[in-house]
Amino acid sequence: MSDVGCRMIFENLDDLKAFRKHLHSNSVMRNVEHELRHDLDKYDYIKCPKFTGYRDVHDVYKHYPRGSTRGQDKKPWDGLLVEVQYRTRAQHAWATAVEISDILDGEQTKFELDQSKRGRFFALASEIIARRHEKMTRAFSELTTDDLKSQLQDLEHELGVLGRLAVLKKFESSDELKKHNVLNIYYDEKGRPALEVIPLSTAQKAIEKASKLERNQDSINAVYVRSDNPNQLRSAYRNYFTDPVDFVKIIQEEGEIDAV
């Protein structure tokens, strides 16, 4: 368990590997007093992905700032455990989609011990991304890529995972955003998840509205967000809305899967 962490997102696997190699190089490490707390491959979940489909690389360092005495004058930040996570943008879109899908469906796929159908859906999707984006086969070695696509499409028809995530695209293009907003994911009259953006005049009204919606059984998740600049708001909530939509696009294009 680390005390503090950061996440690095890269466009592709080559950039990720090059940056991590540079970070571990003698030219960098001789200027700091960080101590890597494990073997380089211990937390490489790209080389050895978790059964859930989770893929990235973790490095945990013990951090000693320059001038640290490591003695009686030890500061609170001396020896702090710092975790750095590296993942590609496609891997990040997958990981965020799992988290948001769990919110939409009230599941805990990210933490499941036994693989459900939803868990298999995301594990298959992760392998498709790895094969198409990273040219790597690390799971489901007994299945061809066409087999992966076929099984994923069958699960999408049964579960509608991509269809529910796709509703979040409204946030990216909405012109309704104001200074005070409530973003409400709810079930429409047909029982399908939908997103509404509710602009309000004051923070108090927005907070009250979000609280009221949270008590409504038709609301899946309601959150109050504030911003003087709608573009900044979309950027700040990229993880919450845009990344899952990116995942949908990747799977529809790379996996040739139609959302239900």
Would you list the DSSP string of the chain? Answer: --SEEEEEEESSHHHHHHHHHHHTSHHHHTTS--EE-S-TTTTBTTTS--TT----EEEEEEE--TT---STT--TTTTEEEEEEEEEHHHHHHHHHHHHHHHHHT--GGG-SS--HHHHHHHHHHHHHHHHHS----S-TTS-HHHHHHHHHHHHHHH-HHHHHHTTHHHHH-S---SEEEEEEEE-TTS-EEEEEEEESSHHHHHHHHHHHHTSTTEEEEEEEE-S-HHHHHHHTIIIIIHHHHHHHHHHHHS-----
Express as a percent the part of the chain with pLDDT over 70.
85
Give the start-to-end residue ranges of the domains of the chain: 4-88, 91-165+247-254, 168-242
Please write the tens of the pLDDT for every residue from 104-136: 777 788 777 677 899 999 999 999 999 998 899
Give per-10-residue mean pLDDT for the chain (260 aa). 82 96 88 84 95 95 72 71 94 90 77 82 96 92 95 92 79 69 84 83 92 88 74 62 84 82
Give the per-residue pLDDT at 5: 86
pTM of the model: 0.78
- Domain 4-88 classification at class level: alpha beta
Please write the tens of the pLDDT for every residue from 53-72: 999 999 999 887 766 665 66
